[in-house]
Amino acid sequence: MKIVILNSSPRRKGNTSKLCDAFCKGVVTTDKNPDITTVFLNELNFKGCQSCFACKLRGSKQYGRCSLNDELTPILTAVNEADCIVFASPIYLMDVNSSAKAFLERLCFSLGSYEVGYRSLATKKALVVTIYTMNTNKKFAPVKAMNNVDMFLGHIFSPPQRLCSYDTYQFSDYSKYVVDVFNEAEKAKQRENQFPKDLHKAYTLGADTATAYLKNRINK
């Protein structure tokens, strides 16, 4: 099973990364030899969509493919060939963060056609998992923004399985920073009690996704 993980967090050891790692551990319980590529979007040199419309050009070889040539180019190809895509982003300003957004512009605009019915131009109906981590609790989560991303990825590939981790621990040592609005004790409690449960959910999601893929392949 070919899996591409698009992790937009700038923190390689942050909450989002830990959940992605747990997902991978879950995958290998079912698929002993998965082909997993993890992409840290924040470390790549790339731009969002430049509105050149080459991907929409009638009769063009580039139809349905992004023409920009930068460090995202091979990643877009890998995503289009994947059996499973994991899109993982921390929430910044009530939305996915900027590298996640730039990636989505490039992917979804080129693969989402303007043909009648808005046909998807993706090569495969890859399984999709979305992972969102945020400081806020469930009540104030940016549901519209997450629904929006899931809607686009769902249209182009297949409806995502979503995992949200709320109330995440932001600072390694809260006492060093001015964060009067958050109660550190509450945060620590959350990290101790809830975050391991979120990791377990990610692990289970990994196992379930690999199972769904293998079942689907057998039935084909």
- Give the binding site for ligand FMN (CB under 6 A): 9, 11, 14-17, 90-94, 133-136, 168, 170
SS3 content of the chain, % helix, strand, coil (to 5): 45, 15, 40
Conformational region of residue 183, where left means phi above 0, alpha means psi within -120 to 50, and beta covers everything else? beta
CB 131 within 8 A of CB 19: yes
CB-CB neighbours of 165 under 10 Å: 23
Please report how close the Cβ of residue 133 comes to ligand FMN at its closest, in angstroms: 3
**CA–CA separation, 44 and 42 (whole Å):** 6
Place of tokens 């084909």: 220
Place of tokens 């551990």: 25
Question: What are the helix (H) ranges across 96-142?
Answer: 98-111
Please report how close the Cβ of residue 166 comes to ligand FMN at its closest, in angstroms: 8
**Nearer to ligand FMN (CB atom), residue 15 or residue 120:** 15
The residue with its CB nearest to ligand FMN is 14
Written as six digits, the tokens of 132 are 């969102």
**Nearer to ligand FMN (CB atom), residue 32 or residue 139:** 139
Place of tokens 């039935």: 219
**Nearer to ligand FMN (CB atom), residue 149 or residue 156:** 149
CB 127 within 8 A of CB 212: yes
**Nearer to ligand FMN (CB atom), residue 31 or residue 150:** 150
Please report how close the Cβ of residue 56 comes to ligand FMN at its closest, in angstroms: 33
CB 154 within 8 A of CB 188: no
Written as six digits, the tokens of 134 are 């945020």
Please report how close the Cβ of residue 48 comes to ligand FMN at its closest, in angstroms: 17
Please report how close the Cβ of residue 9 comes to ligand FMN at its closest, in angstroms: 3
**Nearer to ligand FMN (CB atom), residue 1 or residue 149:** 149
**Nearer to ligand FMN (CB atom), residue 63 or residue 184:** 184
Please report how close the Cβ of residue 14 comes to ligand FMN at its closest, in angstroms: 3
CB 23 within 8 A of CB 203: yes
